[in-house]
Amino acid sequence: MSQSHPSPALSDALHRLDQLTNWERKPRGEMRVGLEPMLDLMQRLGNPHRSFRAIHVAGTKGKGSVAALLEAGLVRAGRQVGRYASPHVDRVNERVSLLGQEVGDDALAGAIMQVLDGYESAKRAATAGEDATWFDVITAAAFVVFRDAGLNWVVVEVGLGGRLDSTNVVFGEVAIVTNIGLEHTEILGSTREAIAGEKVGILKPGATLATTLAADDAAGRVLQQRADELGCDVLRTDLPEDATIAETNMALVGMVFDHLGRGGESVNDGGAKSRPVGAWLLEPGVVDRARLPGRMERFDFALPPKLQGGRQTVPIIMDGAHVPFNIEAVLRDITHSSSVNGDCVAVVALASDKDAPGFLSVLSRYVAYAIFTEASGSGRAHAAKDLQALAVSAGMACEAEPDPHLALDRAAVKAAERSGWILVTGSLYLVGALRATVMSRAL
């Protein structure tokens, strides 16, 4: 995913940063994970991660949306709050949010340069920081930005896993595990229980754990066991099985806000009395401000005149879901809504470390036609032809078009023929590659 027109200072900083290993663009099986380089950088920078209170968010899916809701609600409560997220869709600035707004180019550039100077000094001293990765540096830079902005709260989204993730140098007063599915199994383990053990690694003594996972769920038991070992309280949502993604995220965030309110966090809206922080913060305007690019994002996509027939547009939904249980939830929620109707034509790219057979098994139950493509930004994509072969063996009507923009054009033709709608999914890199085009043709 490319940085669109950064300032000269940020271009220079990103060029210097890109000399480092970027595991987001490499096969995950080779990954170096550990906190020592990050801790060394933090110490060299004056421990910026200790300058704010934090909520730490892990989980297989939903981290970004939950973190954005938390940030928007805390802004509504009058807090000086930031959010750290990954990956980005259009601009690297999306990863570092201040009061709901992307960090400015120059502030981010200055922080990156400061961290890279620390990295260079670690290299000269041959200390652990010399092994810092791209993600270590961008994470450290975010913490520098937050400190320099004088923030009192930060919502920190885990990059990968939890226990050994670069973000795990922070103390999250509330540690959230949104859910557990099979993902990054070569790094995190091959069972939900093993993955849960990695993700709950963000929980520390004195914190509270919040999760959607029931105590009798296999992964939920792992979370509870770790909380018991550390003497931590556990908060759990209680939702029906058919709750939508949005309802689940809202319930989880509302539960966390209620917890903060019970702990003494309050809001003064100008009246004589203050009001405890709580789920009431999730007003419609707050929820709207928390919407993220590439998460159930809907547009009306203008068709070329030759395809219009009886209509000028086709609905298009962009969602970066890339694991089977999440694409199932996305498609279930879309098909139960009234925002689209007719056949679904999907444009799909998957990274090579994703469960392609499982993902396609779900797609085959909902999608009338699929066009497989490649999102080259990740550097580790399943070949479009390989995905097509898998899909054909599953009985799906499909084709392969490695170029994402040509794949989108083909999807428009198919959706127009079928009076249907388009879903762009499987990868936030794919969403990032196509989003500007979609927005330029949105009516």
- Name the token pair of 182: 């099979």
Least confident of 122-136, 171-185, 227-241, 244-258: 171-185
pLDDT digits 0-9 by tens, 358-373: 999 999 999 999 999 9
- The pLDDT assigned to 28 comes to 46
Amino acid at position 124, single letter: R
Cα(112)–Cα(110) distance, integer angstroms = 6
By three-state DSSP, how is residue 230 classified? helix
- The pLDDT assigned to 241 comes to 86
- The pLDDT assigned to 165 comes to 94
| Rounded mean pLDDT, 123-152 | 96
- The pLDDT assigned to 32 comes to 54
Map out the domains of the chain with their CATH numbers. Answer: 8-289 (3.40.1190.10), 297-440 (3.90.190.20)
The DSSP element (H or E) to which 250 belongs, if any, is: helix 245-262
395: which residues sit within 8 A by CB, 6+ positions away? 364
Least confident of 211-220, 255-264, 286-295, 308-317: 308-317
397: which residues sit within 8 A by CB, 6+ positions away? 368, 369, 370
Percent of the chain exceeding pLDDT 90 equals 77
Taking the CA atoms of 257, 261, 266 and 267 in sequence, report the sign of the dihedral they define.
positive
Q: What dihedral angle (degrees, nearest 10) is formed by the CA atoms of 316, 321, 323, 325?
A: -80
Residues 321, 95, 287: CA angle, nearest 5 degrees? 65
The DSSP element (H or E) to which 370 belongs, if any, is: strand 369-372
- Residue 366 burial (CB < 10 Å; 0-12/13-18/19+)? middle
- The pLDDT assigned to 336 comes to 86
Is residue 254 over pLDDT 70? yes
Percent of the chain exceeding pLDDT 70 equals 92
- Residue 60 burial (CB < 10 Å; 0-12/13-18/19+)? buried
Give whichever of 43-57, 308-322, 418-432 has the largest mean pLDDT. 43-57
Characterize the bridge pairing of strands 172-177 and 208-211: parallel
By three-state DSSP, how is residue 398 classified? strand
Residues in the chain: 443
Residues 16, 67, 208: CA angle, nearest 5 degrees? 115
Cα(341)–Cα(405) distance, integer angstroms = 24
The DSSP element (H or E) to which 301 belongs, if any, is: strand 297-302
Cα(65)–Cα(69) distance, integer angstroms = 6
C-alpha Rg value of the chain to the nearest Å: 22
pLDDT digits 0-9 by tens, 375-394: 865 557 899 999 999 999 98
Is residue 222 over pLDDT 80? yes
Query: What distance lies between CA 428 and its chain's CA centroid?
Result: 9
The DSSP element (H or E) to which 423 belongs, if any, is: strand 421-425
- Which of 82, 227, 49 lies closest to 149, judged by CA? 82
Q: Would the pTM of this model clear 0.75, i.e. be above it?
A: yes
Whether the CB-CB separation of 74 and 153 falls below 8 Å is answered with: yes
96 DSSP β-pair partners: 84
Strands in 206-276 per DSSP E: 208-211, 233-236, 266-267, 275-276
| Rounded mean pLDDT, 25-33 | 52
288: which residues sit within 8 A by CB, 6+ positions away? none
284: which residues sit within 8 A by CB, 6+ positions away? none
pLDDT digits 0-9 by tens, 149-199: 999 999 999 998 899 999 999 999 999 999 998 655 444 557 899 999 999
Residue 275's CB: how many other CB atoms inside 10 A? 14
Characterize the bridge pairing of strands 421-425 and 344-348: parallel
pLDDT digits 0-9 by tens, 260-298: 999 999 998 776 689 999 999 999 999 999 999 999 999
- Which of 175, 165, 140 lies closest to 47, judged by CA? 140
- Name the token pair of 72: 């928007």
